[in-house]
Structure 1
Amino acid sequence: MPKAMQDAYACCALYITKNSLNAPVITSHIHTRHQELILSPLPTSTPDLLAHTHALLIYRIMHLFDPDLHNALTTSTFDALSMSALESAAALLFSSTHFPPESEPTDTLMPGTSILPSTLESTMHFWKLWVFEESARRTILFTFYFLQIVRLLCGERNLLCDGKLGLVHSWYFSAYLWNAPSALDFAVAWTEREHYIVRNVNFSKVLREAQPGDIDRFGKMLLVTSQGIDRMQEWFSARGSIL
């Protein structure tokens, strides 16, 4: 595991033990690790850059929801630096990540339209590569989504919304692919199940054709944000499920 994530996970473990007695020490430690990561150069390898971005997200989420950490961040210049560092990491990750091409004739991939490698070893490699790339795609989308929420909560004015977070992006909307526990399960889902590509937060085809089993937690989060919780509860209910 990259050091950035080791430190972030260790801080999460400390945060769980935080109480009124040890709060000053733990708050100081987490804040210091956050500062160190903010001021460190961005990694040159894509896997390390992905871990770096994840770690920045973890620290920023802790600071956002914890009063002690929030005060430690917002009373210094590191508030702006934290936002800038997270946005810079996500932007660099964006430039290093493959997205499903716009040349696809539809936003739906029917079963059997993509051929997997013929050998188990090649399929395993393809699966691991897909998981990494999809993780990067979702991390990029979530990061810019999160940055906009932070700006909104901080009371920034004149925020612009183009409906797609200022990005041209796409990701695989398929719980069967994302949750596949093995290369074999992934191969079955890839070749035998219908899955969707969501481009620029456009869920129109998903809302028309997908089923509740196609939607994982990330999809639910974005659907509720874009469509509203009442509409999504109604959508799930009409299909015999709950949100």
Structure 2
Amino acid sequence: MPPDRNRTSNSQGRQKSCSECAKAKRRCDLRQPSCLRCTRQDLTCLYPPAPATTGTPSSHSASMTLESVADDDNLFSFDAPSYPNGHDVELLDFDFCGGLGSIYSFDDQLNGDVGGSLSLSRLNYLPGKLFSASHITPYAQSRVEYSIEQLKAAPAMMVFKNQTPWCHPNLYEDYMPRSLQDAHAACALYSSRNNANATFVARHITDHLKELLDSPVPTNSTELLARAQALVLYQIMLVFSGDIRYYGQVNALIRQLEDIGTRLQTVVMEETDPSDPLPLYPTIDARAAWKSFIFREAARRSLLILFHFLAMCNLMRGHLSSCSSHLATGNRVTLSAHLWSAASAFDFAVAWNEKKHHLVKELNFADVLETARADDIDIFGRMIMTGLMGIDDVKGWFHTRGGTY
């Protein structure tokens, strides 16, 4: 039984639930100073005072560690930790509510200048208080849930298909840097976790992540891209593992992701977009163009997904601050499932010459919405479009184009 709350001190001869559990008619485990349910849901846990004492009721601590996880009552069907509500990281730009046609409109949503149905946090959330996934509105949920499901599937996809929606299967055909080799191995272990090996797997993943974070940041563009992709994979495993042993490194990795994103942005800005047709024979030019496209678009997609994921992490941590709009400046990404999924240089050249490929600049999807076909948009495109528009609007757009989401 919890200390200082035995049966003899209770005038009714039985234990009393805390006020929150009693109000919800839920069983209370009577832990002190806060029961497990209140800890998980960031509730203020107050017990009725015993008659023989004059002290004030115990209350939930004003701080929370990353070991606290979301309760089953949360809006989301996925397992997500409840992050502490710190103020050391701003909500980044490549996120889920930038607003079609104007990335800057997200500031209004964050600062409460739009209707309640379009805000990101529920009315029961007070700024500065503990924040968890239960405070996220259906409006925000409709923009992040699809991406989260794809992120959760990424480690297994990397193992079994040697790719993710932002990492092309042929990107490291000649050479895979050590950082991504280790992350690949970590993904394999992560995908094979069970009750018997969970401790070993957690130790392996967190130890290798620490080694990566302690190593110097490379200057070579391929090594830099591999490091960014590795860090994203590690963060996915840390955040969505549902295992308390992983949560300790989440905050540290958020800062590393921001730093590597800024460095990767420099690489992305240096890439150019050719427009000339490609000869089908001989294939030497097509092969060179295909290889260049793979690196260019993998870097661009990785940068977008990195900041997209950071924005989701920050949302779950309660960081509802203004966007860093400069991150969108000069950003480009080509949305073409035909180019990304080409199986050979010949297939790539045919798709390049015959299919429309949509060059999205600074997250302006106007041309995509007006001229693209449903089969032009792959998983990555769906993730970004859903983040900007919400799942219902994206489903509607696919339906009008004769496709399905």
Report the CA distance shift for 1:41/1:168 in structure 2 as closer, same or farther (over 3 A).
Answer: same
Question: Are residues 1:187 and 2:349 paired?
Answer: yes
Amino acid in structure 2 at the alignment position of 1:11: A
Deviation at 1:33, TM superposition (A): 0.9
Q: Secondary structure at the match of 1:96?
A: helix
Q: Tell me, yes or no, if the aligned pair for 2:239 and 2:246 is still in contact at 8 Å.
A: no
1: CA distance, partners of 2:247 / 2:191: 22
The match for 1:95 among 266, 269, 273 is: 266
Question: Are residues 1:221 and 2:383 paired?
Answer: yes
Deviation at 1:140, TM superposition (A): 0.7
The match for 1:56 among 226, 231, 234 is: 231
Amino acid in structure 2 at the alignment position of 1:23: A
2: CA distance, partners of 1:40 / 1:80: 18
Q: Secondary structure at the match of 2:323?
A: coil
Question: Are residues 1:23 and 2:198 paired?
Answer: yes
Amino acid in structure 1 at the alignment position of 2:312: I
Amino acid in structure 2 at the alignment position of 1:206: V
In angstroms, what is the RMSD of aligned CA positions?
Answer: 2.1
Question: Are residues 1:47 and 2:222 paired?
Answer: yes
Q: Tell me, yes or no, if the aligned pair for 1:100 and 1:171 is still in contact at 8 Å.
A: no
Aligned position for 1:209: 371
Question: Are residues 1:84 and 2:247 paired?
Answer: no
Question: Are residues 1:116 and 2:278 paired?
Answer: yes
Amino acid in structure 2 at the alignment position of 1:158: S
1: CA distance, partners of 2:288 / 2:229: 23
Give me the TM-score of the superposition, normalised by structure 2: 0.53
1:189-211 deviation per Cα after TM superposition (whole angstroms, max 9, x unaligned): 11122221101111111111111
Amino acid in structure 2 at the alignment position of 1:207: L
Aligned position for 1:231: 393
Greater C-alpha Rg:
2
The match for 1:147 among 286, 310, 316 is: 310
Q: Secondary structure at the match of 2:277?
A: coil
Amino acid in structure 2 at the alignment position of 1:227: M
2: CA distance, partners of 1:128 / 1:27: 36
Unaligned runs of 5+ in 1: 102-108
1:50-84 deviation per Cα after TM superposition (whole angstroms, max 9, x unaligned): 1111111100000010132xx34544xx4433112
Q: Tell me, yes or no, if the aligned pair for 1:144 and 1:165 is still in contact at 8 Å.
A: no
2: CA distance, partners of 1:157 / 1:209: 34
1: CA distance, partners of 2:291 / 2:189: 31
Deviation at 1:166, TM superposition (A): 4.3
Q: Tell me, yes or no, if the aligned pair for 2:374 and 2:398 is still in contact at 8 Å.
A: yes
Q: Secondary structure at the match of 1:63?
A: helix
Deviation at 1:184, TM superposition (A): 0.9
Report the CA distance shift for 1:165/1:242 in structure 2 as closer, same or farther (over 3 A).
Answer: farther
2: CA distance, partners of 1:51 / 1:201: 24
Aligned position for 2:241: 66
Aligned position for 1:199: 361
Q: Secondary structure at the match of 2:402?
A: coil
Aligned position for 1:131: 294
Aligned position for 1:105: none
Deviation at 1:15, TM superposition (A): 1.2
Q: Tell me, yes or no, if the aligned pair for 1:99 and 1:169 is still in contact at 8 Å.
A: no
Q: Secondary structure at the match of 1:198?
A: strand
Deviation at 1:160, TM superposition (A): 2.5
Question: Are residues 1:174 and 2:336 paired?
Answer: yes
Q: Secondary structure at the match of 2:200?
A: helix
User: How many residue pairs were aligned?
Assistant: 228
Amino acid in structure 2 at the alignment position of 1:120: T
1: CA distance, partners of 2:324 / 2:396: 26
Deviation at 1:22, TM superposition (A): 2.0
Deviation at 1:115, TM superposition (A): 3.0
Which structure has more helix as a fraction of its residues? 1
Deviation at 1:99, TM superposition (A): 4.3
